């Protein structure tokens, strides 16, 4: 009886492990396909925003220089 009970427990554990493997595989696929692409898009947007801020900063700096020259 003890051995039969252990066999049933092991069979249940094997099923649980198989289910967990399937779930992990689904999560990995979702991460690779969905999340990675979204992170890439967010990074591209951040980089464009950062580039735009750099251009604005350069223009403001030029204007500041012109203003300072005119005031003197």
Per-residue pLDDT tens digits for 3-33 = 888 999 999 999 999 999 999 999 999 999 9
Say what the pLDDT of residue 71 is: 86
The larger pLDDT score, comparing residue 1 to residue 29, is at: 29
Task: Give, as one character, the DSSP assignment of residue 72.
Answer: -
Backbone angles phi, psi at 63, to 5 degrees: -65, -40
Over 80: is that where the pLDDT of 72 sits?
no
Half-sphere exposure of 17 (CA within 13 A, CB side): 6
Q: 1: pLDDT confidence band, cut at 50, 70 and 90?
A: confident
Longest alpha-carbon distance in the chain? 100
The number of angstroms, rounded, from the C-alpha of 56 to the middle of its chain's C-alpha atoms is: 28
Model confidence, pTM: 0.56
């Amino acid at each position: 009886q003890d051995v039969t009970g252990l066999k049933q427990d092991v069979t249940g554990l094997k099923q649980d492990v198989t289910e967990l493997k399937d779930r992990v595989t689904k999560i990995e696929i979702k991460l690779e396909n969905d999340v990675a692409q979204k992170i890439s898009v967010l990074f591209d947007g951040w980089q464009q925003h950062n580039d735009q801020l750099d251009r604005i900063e350069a223009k403001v700096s030029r204007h500041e220089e012109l203003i300072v020259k005119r005031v003197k």
